[in-house]
Chain A
Amino acid sequence: MKTITVNIVTPDGPVYDSEVSMVIAVTATGEMGVLPGHIPTVAPLGIGAVRLKKENSTELVAVNGGFLEIRPEKVTILAQSAERATDIDLARAQESAKRAEALLQANKNEIDFKRAELALKRAMNRINVYEGNI
């Protein structure tokens, strides 16, 4: 089976580096599946899970923003933060989800509202990836 190399890099260091058979990521315009031999592409990413399909397993990585760079034999994801399902601190994610929800309830200020919304999105994304229900 043909494979493609996937690299996920953050400012704090590389997070993931392996051969997979398919990458599925959430870009700004929708979900995007990448198979080996894809045409060179750059696309911005949203907050979401990147699914990395291997022969008989799927790995999940929670990615926060950044972008996706595709070359025929290599995919690079540059994100400000990214965590593999096994590295996620569930308690912390739940904590920040609660905090963000409380802020959303309380605050009507527009900027704070947007920030809380993003924080909630990130926290929910982490929880979903941790639990594997994407």
Chain B
Amino acid sequence: MASLRDIKTRITSTKKTSQITRAMQMVSASKLSRAEVNAKAFVPYMNKIQDVVASIAAGSADTSNPMMTARPVKKTAYLVITSDRGLVGGYNSNILRTVMNRIRERHTSNDDFVILSVGRKGKEFFTKQGMTILESAIALPDHPTFSDIKEITRKAVGMFSDGTYDEVYMYYNHFVSAIQQEVTETKVLPLTDIQPTGSTASYEFDPSAEAILEVLLPQYAESLIFGAVLDGKASEHAASMTAMKSATDNASDLINGLTLQYNRARQAAITQEITEIVGGAAALE
């Protein structure tokens, strides 16, 4: 049996760890609530842009914009949104596993696809796998603004336009609730599945529908990506909160067990001491 002092040391260190995890849980909880606010602020913009894109696409029969037409796929890009650090439970591994499965299903050679990575974990993982990472954004702030990710979205859309790759899939954790996140796969480009909404006015276009689509579609694709980053960030904070909560719970279970063990050992030591004293006294008689 471990000595009294050993047990005591373990109890103290476990307590300290649980204090840290509890603090981290609270930090994540407050970050989560801000991330939700940010995601909400983005909704009106997204809705509006979707509305206009849909009504233009419905209004003009000739939608030959290169961003809306599917072309033969020679190269695929995978945009993977992960976190920069660990301690977030299964957040990263879920995404990376899904992406790897998809890649294995679709491709036989590493030359058929490229990776665009948001987040350090994804970058490290794909580098280790020996895959091509064309572009990456790491060390994003906890609450990214549009200008923080403008660079990578602009490049992601730009490289589609100039033919570096012919389709873009995006993977991120969709925030369902504080305890549930879902790995989501979306096809960002080409924009083939724009649903025309029924209740839209027919617009005049200045100068022309084509010219507007040229400005609008890249902006639309970029905002799709930005929305996913915001969603992913909310999920990241939620996952981190859950992971830290279960760490804290485990720590308190451990402390309970150790305290019981400590008390038993203490009792045993006292009993032994009494026995020794009584034995000693009996020997003297």
Q: Does B162 contact A (CB under 8 A)?
A: no
Query: Known: A11-B45, A28-B207. Is A40-B202 also a contact (CB below 8 A)?
Result: yes
Query: Complex formed: what's the CA distance from A44 to B205 in Å?
Result: 9
Within 8 A of A (CB), among B3-59: 38, 41-42, 44-45, 48-49, 52, 56
Query: Complex formed: what's the CA distance from A32 to B204 in Å?
Result: 14
Within 8 A of B (CB), among A25-46: 27-29, 32, 39-44
Pair B48/A40 contact, Cβ less than 8 Å: no
Query: Known: A69-B48, A69-B52, A81-B146. Is A12-B41 also a contact (CB below 8 A)?
Result: yes
Find the B residue at minimum CB distance from A14.
Answer: B44
Pair B215/A67 contact, Cβ less than 8 Å: yes
Pair B41/A42 contact, Cβ less than 8 Å: no
Query: Complex formed: what's the CA distance from A15 to B56 in Å?
Result: 25
Pair B219/A40 contact, Cβ less than 8 Å: no
Query: Known: A10-B45, A69-B48, A81-B147. Is A41-B205 also a contact (CB below 8 A)?
Result: yes
Pair A28/B211 contact, Cβ less than 8 Å: yes
Query: Complex formed: what's the CA distance from A61 to B32 in Å?
Result: 31
Q: Does A76 contact B (CB under 8 A)?
A: yes
Q: Least Cβ distance of A99 to chain B in Å? A: 15
Chain B 215-232 interface mask (CB, 8 Å, partner A; 1/0): 110010011001000000
Q: Least Cβ distance of B224 to chain A in Å? A: 11
Pair B205/A42 contact, Cβ less than 8 Å: yes
Neighbour of A40 across the interface among B42, B44, B203, B216, CB < 8 A = B203
Contacts of A66 in B (CB 8 A): 219
Within 8 A of B (CB), among A68-87: 69, 71, 76, 78, 80-81
Pair B42/A13 contact, Cβ less than 8 Å: yes
Pair B48/A10 contact, Cβ less than 8 Å: no
Q: Does A88 contact B (CB under 8 A)?
A: no
25 contacts between A and B (CB under 8 A): A7-B44, A9-B44, A11-B45, A11-B145, A12-B146, A13-B45, A28-B211, A32-B206, A39-B204, A40-B201, A40-B204, A41-B203, A42-B52, A42-B203, A42-B205, A43-B205, A44-B211, A65-B215, A66-B219, A67-B52, A69-B48, A69-B203, A78-B48, A78-B49, A78-B219
- A interface, CB within 8 angstroms of B: 7, 9-14, 27-29, 32, 39-44, 65-67, 69, 71, 76, 78, 80-81
